[in-house]
Amino acid sequence: MSEGISQRPAEPPLQWPALIETVLLGSAAAMLLSKTARGALVFYIHPRYTWLVVVAALILGLLALARARAIFAANVEPGSGQPSSYLVVALAVLLGTLVPARPLGANTVSASMLGARSGAVAQLPQGDSRSWDLLQWSIARSVEGTTLAGKPVDVVGFVFHEPGAAADRFVVARYVLTCCTADGSATGMPVIWQGGTELPADTWVRVSGTIGSVTRNGTPEPAIIAEQVELVPQPKMPYLYSSQ
Amino acid sequence: MREEFAPTLPVDTHPPVARLNRFLSMAGITGAVLLLWLASGIGVPASLGRATDELQGLATIFLGIFIEALPFLLAGVLASAAIHVFVSAEHIRRLSPRSPVRAALLGTLLGLCFPVCECGAVPATRRLMSKGASPALGIAFLLAAPVVNPIVIASTWVAFSGRPEIVAARVGLTVVIAAIAALVVGRRATADALLMQSHHDHHDHHDHRHEGLGARVQALLSHAVAEFFEMGRYLVLGALIAAALQTVVPREALLAVGQGPVFAPIVMMALAFVLSICSTVDAFVALAFVNSFPTGALLAFLVFGPMVDIKSLLMYTATFQRPVVMRIVAVVAVLTLASAVAIDLVLG
C-alpha cells in the first residue's frame, strides 16, 4: 500500500457473508445467554447441561468476533456465502427469540400419555406421602395400584382436561424429563373437584386431598379427592427429572 | 436445498431445475414465516389460538434438541477445523493402515481419543477422508465414534449402573456393526467416489502448516464457522422434523404398535430414529423403556440411534453420495435388527 501510488486504495466492499455470519452467530449466543439468565433454559434441557450451553454460547461469541474481522477484509473469504444455511440457522435463532419461552404443558399432552409409569427405575417413594411429587405418585401407582386409597396427597402441577371428562374432573399433570424436551413425557393424576372443568388448561395448581378412585376407560384408577385446589405461580423448575 | 451451489454452476444450463429450486426455497421461506408468526402468537387471531398452542409445543421440543446438540456440534466443527489446520494429509495417510480390515478396526476405536457424538462425527469424518484417510477407516469412525468414546461410555455406565453387560454389549455391537458396514461400503471405494464435493473444500487446498500461530488460529476459526453453517442447517432441519413428528405422532402410539421379538427392536429403532437425541444422553432416555422392552430391543435403540437418526441422516446426505448413504443405513439397520432379535431369542 505504501508504494508511492498517489491515489488512495478504493474502499473495500462490504463482505456480506461475513456480516451475516457475524450477526447470526452473535444472536445465537445472545439467545442462549438470555435464556440462561432469565431461567428459561430449564424449559428445554436438564439443568445439569446448563454449563455446556454457556460454554457453547461463549464459543459462538468467539466465532462471531472472528468473523467480524472479515467484514471489511479486502479479499473474499473462501467458502463463504451459503444463503440456504443462513436462512435455516436464522429460523432456529428466531424460533428461540420470537416464540415466548414456555415449558411443555397441556398443549402437548395427549391423554394416552398419562398412565402410571412402567419404567420404574426409580425407587418406590418412602416416608410421608404428602411429600411425594407426581412422578413419585406415578411410580407408587404402578407398583401398589389401588392399595394407595386413603393416603394424603399434596402435589403441584398444571391443569389438563381430558376430552369428554365429567364436570367435576381435571387432571393435575407434570412433565418428566431425562435430558431434554425431546424425551419429555407427562404424568398426572385425575382430580375430583367441584368446578374442575372451569380451571383453564395449563393453570398451575397445588392440590391437596386424599387418594380415592375413579373409573377411567372402564378400569378403576387412583384419583385425588381434593379438599383444596389453590392457584400457584409456575414453578421455577417446571419439570420433574427421572434421573439426577 | 441446493441453491448454495448455484454460484458455481452456469445458471442457464438447467432452467427447470433452477425454477424448481426457486419454487422450493420460496415455499420453504413462506412456511418458515408462517410457522414463526403462528408460534410467536403476535397478532394471531383467537380462532388460530390452537395452532399457536401446538406450534409453541413444537418449538419447545425443537429448541430442546437444538440447544442440547449445539455444544456437541461446535465441538465437532472445532475438532474438524483443527484437523484441517494442524494435521497434514501425509500424516493421516501415513497413519491410516493399508489393509481395509485394520483400517476399519482402527476407525472404530478412534473415537476414544476424538470424543464426538454424531453431530461432530460427520464433519470430522469428512475432514479425515478428504485428507486421505481410507474410506473404511472414515466410515468405521463415523459410525462408531458416537458410542465408542469416553463420554458416552461413561453416561451409559451411569444410566445402567446395575447392568455393566448393557454397556459392554452396546460398545461391542457398535464396534462390530461399524466395522462390517465400513468394510462393505468402503472396502474398494476411494474417498472421492464416496464424498459429495464440499462447498468449501474447493478452496481448501492450501496448506496452513507453514503459517504463524495467529494466522492458523484465525484459519481454524473461519473454517469452523463455514462448517458450522453447513452442518448446523441439517441439525436445525432434523430437529424440526423430529419435533414435528413427535407432536403429530405421540410416542405411546409407536410403543403400542410393537411387541414381540422382531417388532420390539423395530419399534425401538424407529423411536431412536425419530427422537434424534444425542448419543451422549440417549442412555438416560433408554432407561424409561427398561421395563416395557426386552434387552435386545433396548440395545437396538442404543446402537442404532447414534449411527442413524433424522438429523445425522440429513448430515450424511450432505456429506456422502446418495447411494453410499443408502448402503450404510441398510447395512446398519439389518445388522442391528438381526443382533437384537438374536439376543432376545437367546435370553428368551
Query: Is residue B87 very low, low, confident or very high in pLDDT (cuts 50, 70, 90)?
Result: confident
pLDDT at B4 over 70: no
Q: What is the pLDDT of residue A196?
A: 81
Specify the CATH number of the domain A106-241. 2.40.50.140
**What is the grid cell recorded at B61?**
421440543
Q: What would the mean pLDDT of A3-27 be, rounded to a whole number?
A: 77
Which residues 134-153 of B have a C-beta within 8 angstroms of A? none
Residue A54 and residue A47: Cα distance in Å, rounded?
Answer: 12
DSSP chain A: --SS--SPPPPPPP-HHHHHHHHHHHHHHHHHHHHHHTT-GGGTB-GGGHHHHHHHHHHHHHHHHHHHTTTT-SSPPTT---HHHHHHHHHHHHHHHHSPP--S-TTT--GGGGS--S---SPPP-S-GGG--HHHHHHHHHHHGGGGTT-EEEEEEEEE--TT--TTEEEEEEEEESSBGGG-EEEEEEEE-TTGGGSPTT-EEEEEEEEEEEEETTEEEEEEEEEEEEE-PPPSS-EEES--
Give the whole-angstrom CA distance, residue B17 versus residue A58: 41
If contacts are CB pairs under 8 Å, which of residues 281-320 in chain B contact chain A? Answer: 281-282, 284-285, 287-292
CB contact under 8 A, B281 and A178: yes
Note the ipTM here: 0.89
Nearest to A79 among B39, B70, B200 (CB): B200
Chain A positions touching B79 (Cβ under 8 A) are none
CA–CA gap between residue B124 and residue B80 (Å, rounded): 4
User: Is B288's CB within 8 Å of A119's CB?
Assistant: yes
Q: Which of A77-86, A179-188, B311-320 shows the lowest mean pLDDT across its residues?
A: A77-86
Question: Above 70 in pLDDT, residue B210?
Answer: no
Cβ of residue A102 closer than 8 Å to a chain B Cβ = yes
Question: Cβ–Cβ of B39/A242 closer than 8 Å?
Answer: no
Q: Which residues of B touch A25 (CB under 8 A)?
A: 225, 228
A 118-177 residues inside an 8 A Cβ radius of B: 118-121
pLDDT of res. A71:
85
Best to test chain B binding among A25, A43, A88, A175 (most B CBs inside 10 Å): A88
Residue B6 binned pLDDT confidence (cut-offs 50, 70, 90): very low
Which of A172-186, B28-42, B110-124 ranks highest by mean pLDDT?
B28-42
Q: Which of A21, A89, A120 sits opposite B291 (nearest CB)?
A: A120
pLDDT at B143: 95
Which carries the bigger pLDDT value, residue B313 or residue B155? B313
Please tell me the predicted confidence (pLDDT) of residue A216. Answer: 73
The pLDDT of residue B11 is above 50: no
- Average pLDDT of every residue of chain B: 83
pTM: 0.81
Mean pLDDT over residues B88-94, rounded?
79
Q: What is the pLDDT of residue A174?
A: 93
pLDDT computed for residue B194 by the predictor: 82
Q: What is the pLDDT of residue A113?
A: 57
Please say if the pLDDT value at position A16 is more than 50. yes
Please check the confidence at residue A28 and state whether its pLDDT lies above 90: yes
Task: Please report, rounded to a whole number, the percentage of residues in chain B having pLDDT higher than 90.
Answer: 29
To probe the interface with A, which of B229, B257, B298, B310 has the most A CB atoms within 10 Å? Answer: B229
Tens-place pLDDT, residues B236-274: 888 888 788 777 776 667 667 767 788 899 989 998 998
pLDDT, position B2: 39
Could you tell me if B233 lies within 8 Å of chain A, comparing CB atoms? yes
Nearest chain B alpha carbon to A101: B60
> pLDDT tens for residues B125-167?
888 888 888 899 999 999 999 999 888 898 888 778 778 999 9
Residues 32-71 of B with CB under 8 A from A: 32, 35-36, 39-42, 53-57, 59-68, 70-71
B222/A contact by beta carbon, under 8 A: yes
Q: For residue B280, what pLDDT is reported? A: 73
Q: For a pLDDT cut of 90, what percent of chain A falls above it?
A: 44
Min mean pLDDT across A135-149, B300-314, B317-331 is at A135-149
- Express each pLDDT in A140-152 by its tens digit: 887 776 578 889 9
A21 at B interface, C-beta within 8 A: yes
- From B67, B203, B251, residue closest to A44, measured CB to CB: B67
The conformational region for residue A218 under phi > 0 = left, psi -120 to 50 = alpha, else beta, is left
A178-187, A205-214, A224-233, range with the lowest pLDDT: A178-187
Greater model confidence, A24 or A219: A24
- The interaxial angle of helices B135-144 and B164-186, nearest 10 deg, is 150
Cell numbers placing B270: 424407529
Residue A57 — very low, low, confident or very high, per pLDDT cuts 50/70/90?
very high
pLDDT number for residue B1: 39
Mean per-residue pLDDT for B15-27?
78
Q: How far is B24 from B27, CA to CA, in rounded Å?
A: 5
Question: Structural domain boundaries of chain B?
Answer: 15-347
User: In chain B, pLDDT over 70 holds for what percent of residues?
Assistant: 88
Q: In whole angstroms, what is the distance from residue A200 CA to residue B268 CA?
A: 36
pLDDT computed for residue A3 by the predictor:
47
Task: Residue B275: list chain A partners with CB under 8 A.
Answer: 182-183
> Could you tell me how many CB contacts below 8 A there are between chain A and chain B?
212
pLDDT-based confidence at residue A122 (cuts at 50, 70, 90): low
- Is A235's pLDDT higher than 90? yes
Which whole number is the average pLDDT over A58-74? 89
Give me the pLDDT at residue A77, please: 60
Q: Which of B222, B268, B280, B292 to mutate to test the interface with A (most CBs of A within 10 A)?
A: B222
The reported pLDDT for the residue numbered B159 is 76
